[in-house]
Amino acid sequence: MRHRQSRLRDIERADGMAHPAEDTWTLIYFAVDSAVQGRGIGTALLQQQIVLMAKAAGARQLTLVTNPHRNVAYYRGQGFSVMCKRQATYSGGVVFKWQLTRLA
C-alpha cells in the first residue's frame, strides 16, 4: 500500500493538484460505458458502494480529478466541490483539470 500511496503523490505533484490528507480516498478511474450512461448506474455505484466502502474503511473524504467540464456538474450533484482547477498544455492543445472533493 505504501508504494501505491507514494506513486499517487508523484502523479498529484506532476498534475499540480492538491495532495489529499491521509484519511482521504482518491478515486482514480470512474466511468460508465457511454451506451448505458444516464441510467443512474454511476450514481448508484458511487453512492451505494464507493462512498459506503470508503466510510466503512475510515475515510473522511473522497477526491478525484476530471478533465471533461461536463463531469464537474455531475460530481457537484453528487456532493463534490471544486478544490482547484489547472490548465495543462500538451502537443495537441490545452486541457483543463478540476480536482473535486466531498465528505465520505
For residue 91, what pLDDT is reported? 79
Task: Report pTM.
Answer: 0.75
Question: What is the rounded distance in angstroms from the CA atom of residue 38 to the CA atom of residue 80?
Answer: 19
What dotted CATH number matches 2-103? Answer: 3.40.630.30
Burial tier of 50 (Cβ tally within 10 Å: 0-12, 13-18, 19+): middle
pLDDT digits (tens, 9 = 90+) for 4-24: 555 555 555 555 566 677 789
Domain limits of the chain? 2-103
